[in-house]
Amino acid sequence: MLKLLLRALCGYAVMGVIAGAAMGEECGGPITTDEALRGEDARYAAQTAADFASLERLIADDLVYIHSSGIVDGKASYIETQRSNTVRYRVMRRSNVTVRTYGCIAMISGTANFDVTVKGQDRSVELLFHSIWVKRDVGVQFVSWQATAAPKP
């Protein structure tokens, strides 16, 4: 059931990204699996280092970031929660990763384990996620994230 829900949510996200590309968003050519994973690695490194200049470059202006809590952020609010130290990503790991590419769009799916501090409280979370990257004329950009808590064994 959870996989079905994630697939449906992912499908809606991909349709939105594709519709954006079809409505005039630039497509910088086909994206490769390696480009998408390097982008995700760079985002994780920037977040754990609080490197906001890199985050500004990596994250697209049209970001839709859906947290496992259901909170939805755009680019400005997502970066601001980190800049203000409301949320601090200490460790970010992923596993069981699958990457699918569709022209200039790449979808990364897998399991994420994050150690975060939220409003002063340390937490470790295990998530199932979709991360969507688009290759644009300006480079590879992070455009969407959807996560849910991983089921307990």
Q: Which domains does the chain have, with CATH numbers?
A: 2-149 (3.10.450.50)
Q: DSSP secondary structure string, 56-87?
A: HHHEEEEEEEE-TTS-EE-HHHHHHHHHTTSE
Q: What integer pLDDT is reported at residue 1 of this predicted model?
A: 52
pLDDT of residue 24: 45
pTM value is: 0.83
Each residue's pLDDT, cut to its tens digit, for the chain (153 residues) gives 555 555 555 555 555 555 454 334 689 999 999 999 999 999 999 999 999 999 999 999 999 999 999 999 999 999 999 999 999 999 999 999 999 999 999 999 999 999 999 999 999 999 999 999 999 999 999 999 999 999 988
3-state secondary structure of 30: coil
Q: Output the pLDDT for position 138.
A: 93
Q: What is the pLDDT of residue 23?
A: 38
Rounded Cα distance between 5 and 3, Å, is 5
Q: Say how far apart CA 152 and CA 149 lie, in whole Å.
A: 9
pLDDT at residue 19, rounded to an integer: 45
One-letter amino acid at 123 equals R
What pLDDT score does 152 carry? 87
Helix (H, G, I), strand (E, B) or coil at 115: strand
- At residue 11, the pLDDT reads 54
